[in-house]
Structures are given as C-alpha cells and as structure tokens.
Structure 1
Amino acid sequence: MNAALPLDGIKVLDLSTLLPGPLATLMLAEAGADVVKLERPGRGDEMRTYDPKFGEASANYAVLNRGKRAYGVDFKDPAQRDRVLELAAEADVVMEQFRPGVADRLGLGHDAVRAVNPDVVYCSITGYGPTGPHAQRAGHDLNYLAESGLLGVVTDSTGAPGLPVTVLADIAAGTYPAVVNILLALRQRDRTGEGTHLQVSMTHNLQVLGYGYFAAHQAGAGWPKPGAEQLTGGSPRYHVYPTSDGRHIACAALEQKFWERLVQLVGLDEKFHDDAGQEEDVVTALAARFAAETSDHWRSVLDGEDVCTVVVATFDEAADAGLVDVDAPERVSAPGGDASFATLPSPVSAALRRAPGTAPYPSLAELGDASPWA
C-alpha cells in the first residue's frame, strides 16, 4: 500500500447496492478507506446475480467491490439492526441508497445513526431527492434522464430519442457528486468536528450535464429544441454521419479552422462551406459525401488532420488504440481462487490510491460479534 493514503484510517459502512453507491465507495477504498459492505443475507447485492459470472458472483460486482468486505444482514431483524448501529457508531462515513424514508423506518436513518455517532458523514443517494412529488417513485438511469429533460434533446429522423451510451445518471449524477461531497464533508469535519447529512439526487444533479441548455434558457433563449441545437444535431459541424460500409463518422469540427480544413478534405461543394443559415442543407450534403466512401477511406483521409472528425470506433478498435485499458496493473480476483483479471481503471490519481496489486471481491460472510473493520 502507498504510504499515507488520503483516506487511511477512514471507515466506510456501505448499505448501498447496484452501481452508484458501490462505485463511490470503491473510489474511497482506492484512496485508502476501509469499506465494509452490508447486503441481503443469502442472495446479497442484486449485482452479484448478473452475467457474465466471475467465480461466485458477476464480473460487474467484482469490478465495483474489489478490496471490500461484505456481510449478509437482515435490516428488519431488530437484533441485526442493532448490530448495524454498533458498526455505524464506529464509521466515519455511512452510505445508503434506499428510497426516502426507508432507512428511517428500518431504524438506520441519519437521526438514528447520528444519535450513536454525532460526527458521522451520512450520504443518501436517491433518484428524485428526499422530498417532493417524485421522491417515492421507483426509477433507473433511463427514467432519470427522461424526466430531467436530457433524454429528449437528441432525436433521430422520426423524432424519437435514443438509448444513452451508458448509465449517465447513476455515475455522473450519483457516484461522482457523492464522492465529491463526502470528501468535502470529511474536510469540514476535520475543521469543525461536525458531521453532515448529504442528499444526492441523481435527477436533480443531471442539470449540471445540461448546463448549456440551462444557461441559454436563463438568458432568454428558451429550452432546447430536440435535434435543433448546435450540439444536439442542428449543426452540420457537430453530427454523426453514416459511411458506405455501415460505419459512422463523428464530426465535431465546431471551430472555423477545423471546419474549413474538413470541407476541403472531404471535397464538399463550395456552396456549402458557409453553413450559416443553411444548416439542414449542409447536413444533407456532408452526409452524402461521407456515405459515398467506406470508413477505411475516411480514416485514411482524416488521420493526422486537426479536424476533430473521426471514425466511430468499436471497443476492439479503442482497446487496440490504447484508449480502453484492458491491462491495468490493478487486478481483481474471485474469493479463494487464483483467477484474476485487470479491473476497472480507477479515476483516482495513481499518487493518491493503493499500490497496484490483486485484491479479491468479497464473499458474503456472516456478521458476527467480532469487529469487521481491518
């Protein structure tokens, strides 16, 4: 382990499941925190059941929970609930991801934990925030994107929005705000001795991803029109174009110098070089040029040129280009086994996280009377 990691000595009690909370506590663990994860007895975290499997649990679970310890607990059992409160009394951070009010009904809410641990940093991740008309609604990433307005700003030719490329709300509006706020709360506790109850609403935090739309609205320009704004399909300079072999070109030639070089390279008719006021016609003309040749042709034309325009890569191609790291020195193993694989590269800087090595994901153990903290 690296000397003097930033979170050495910090104890994290993780009551969360699936992705947002576990990914947040993984980042804390990478920076030196000691994470104890509590799951349902028997089956454990739902993420364990996903495919493909790696040992006794899923590969997804493995990469999100490397280096933690996990125990099966029935939160509804009063004796086991009291044992959880004993652990919470020792924790610096408690992470939960229930719907609002559920932790309170279980006797594990902020007030109950604060009563035994006044300076705890207690983080609640919810879909729609702790209060309001949507607070009790069930949801997943796609729902949060849909109801925040973001999903509908990019549409296809029929006006239908597409599926997002990944779980944006879970990670960008759940995990990352949770980590940032936990670190800020720990810093504040160092200075004041006071704990904090952090409320992380994934839907509300998505507004940060739509910062430009918000700024335009506040300046009087209105909310974005689907597929009509500069970054949502309304500009030929920021668009995805098909090629003749079923591949695609991602064009982001926003600046004039990039645009001028691009239209020369692709041989676009000069009457379309100035796209102002004729954006739809230029999109059509540029689409025709890209559709006339294969992706290999366009790669040979575009490579080495500063035009911010590239062939959309497959994961294999991205890995071959060194843009997807499948050989990181950090590895995860199955409990009790020799098999391991290079795990998810951590966004925590190498200078601030554990030394590279292999660590197992946790089997689901029985929570006894002994302290689970390392």
Structure 2
Amino acid sequence: MDKHNSQSGVINEQRRQFLGGSVGIGLVGAGLAAGLMSAPAAATGAARKDDRMANYSADQLERVKLDLVPPPMVPKHDQIATGKPKVVEVKLVIEEKQVELENGTKAWVCAFNGSVPGPLIVCHQHDFVELTLVNPASNNLAHNIDLHSATGALGGGELTLVSPGQEVTFRFKATKAGTFVYHCAPGGAMIPWHVAMGMHGAIMVLPRDGLKDAQGNPLHYDKAYYVGEADFYIPKDANGKYKEFKTVMDSMQDVMDVMKTLTPSHVVFNGAVGALTGKNAMTAKVGESVLFVHSQANRDTRPHIIGGHGDYVWAAGSFTDAPQTNLETWMVAGGSAAAALYNFRQPGLYAYVNHNLIEAIMKGAAAHIKVEGEWDDNLMVQVKKPGAITA
C-alpha cells in the first residue's frame, strides 16, 4: 500500500469512528440540522432576561481579531470588557511535526499553531468566538477541535473535522466564564492519540466585569502566563532506548501500545523538559500579581509554587464561583484548566511544579519563575548560618 492510500485509509477510519464507529458517536443529519437551526433561539431563551449582554446576535456586533501568541505568553486583552460583546476571530493552523522532549528523545506532535500546548484564547463572557481551523495539505491526518467552553455539537467537534488541504470556520457563544480546555477529538482511538501528541490548549473566558473575590471586590493581575501540562508516551526498543520514528504514521501503533499502560514516559510543561526554565523562565517583580492558567487535557495534576501560594484559586475553572484562598497546592482534573492568582512578596527563583514530585523531577513537570526585588527579612531570614553543632 502506497503512502497516499495508507493516508486515505487512516483519514477514512477517523471519519468512520467520528461519525458513529467504535465510540458510539452517531450523527443524524436531520437532527444535526435541527439543532443548528434552533441553537441561537435556545441560547437566547435560556439567557437571563435582565442580562442584555447575552441577547445580542453575532451580526449586531463588532468583529475583532485576536492575535495569538505562543505559550506561556498570553494574548493582549482587557481584564474588564467595555461596551457590547464582540465577535472574536481566531485562526488555528495545525502542524504535524517532530519535537525534542529532552536530550535527543523525540516525539511526533500535532500542534495548534506550532506549539504544545496550543495558544491560550482569551475573550469575555457573551462574546462570540469565530474560529477558523486550517489543516494544511502537508499533514497526514484529519483533525478537528472540541472546545470545552462551547455548547453543543461535541464542543464544535461535529462541525470542524477537516482533512489535509481543508479549512473550516465555525462560531460559538462563550456563555460560561472560566478557564477551559480545547483539544482535537477526531473519533475513536484517534482522540486519545491526538491528545497524547500534544494537540490541546486552553481558552479563558473572563467575566465582563473582571475577576472578583468572594466578597465581590475586584481582582487585578499585572501579568498572566499559560502553562499547558502534557503527558507523552515514547516507546523503547529492545535495548531500553527511546525509539525515533520517521513519520507520524510510523509512530502510531507503538505509541498507542505505551498509552494503554497509562504510564507516561514524560510529563512536561509547554512541550518539553525544561521548556520554562533558564532563559525561558517566567518572570515577575516583587509586588506584582501574576495569574497562572494551568491546563491538563488528559490526567489529573496538582500545581504548586515552591516558596509561594495561591492567593486566589479557581481550581475548577469557574470564574462565576468564589475563588478559594491561600492554597498551598490545588488540584486540576484531567480535561480541565484552572487559574491561580499570586502576589509575589520575595525575590528569587521559584519552582512551579506538578506536586507529584516524581513527575516534576523525574519526568519533567517543572518550571521556574524569576522574581526581582528587595528581600524582606520580616518574611524570612537566616538566623544562623550553617556551622558546627554546638551543645
């Protein structure tokens, strides 16, 4: 079988599974059409009558383009929305490529806009997100996107399945405020495989009047970072060395065999071991409040700032709920994203880790934050230097 026929066979199998194969997902054409016709009316009817911002249709609103940036950076945005909602235009281009996880160990990834994780999308509640998904002809696989912030049609997955050489555009209303995962979900076993190849990201839907504490007081952040945690499953050869594959299709079966063990070879932040350390470390200054958005599309995780805390934490991702306060570590469920706000009080190097320290230290789930400023002895001081033990 030549490469073209092999590729076509894989894509056809992806479509078969997505349209009602091994995972039991079936689409009824008339039902889907009816759902599409009734969705705007249903959304309007469910909106609170006193919330006029929820009642605009997309054709009444200004259109703006969101300039996406590679993580951990976050697109420029207003923390408090002004005026009417907007139609936020977003473009994601899928890139199938090989990356280095650490010290020559390589993995095939399917990357939204070339990065693992994909870029953070930012909008406000009641905005519309109009997303164009591009699958270049140079790719081998069919792809789509499921956004946990979207309502209906498998989070957009039903409306966005594209083969190599195709693009598709769809629009959804951001009805819920919070942080949410997005990922590829083309059907059947292709869903976990694509996610395990780094095909995931997050979207932050801010409340229109900004973040607030439990008493309704406004919360502000001076900067924001996006940390996307990913688990990789790299096979080993008979000599115990990590395998390298020439094409993404060559890697599929062996990677899936390792995935079935539920034991990742690597657990990393932002696509590689050490991706957020050294010259790529996050930065802050004493007195700055920093918002950290943390996602994990596949497995539970537990972010922790060594030497710091979560002053305000939306661990379940919902900005509608009051944040928890003063946490040492917070749990992020697999398939979700969380947000934590911390005001740095001391200078120095902070480690931002998954506090399963085996995964942090031995598998790669660790980052650094370099903080500049003046040391405060009232918060911490070395009372006595190391020396000989005295009676």
Larger strand fraction of residues: 2
What's the TM-score once normalised by structure 2's chain length?
A: 0.22
| Larger-gyration structure (1/2) | 1
Higher relative contact order (CA 8 A, sep 6+): 1
Larger helix fraction of residues: 1
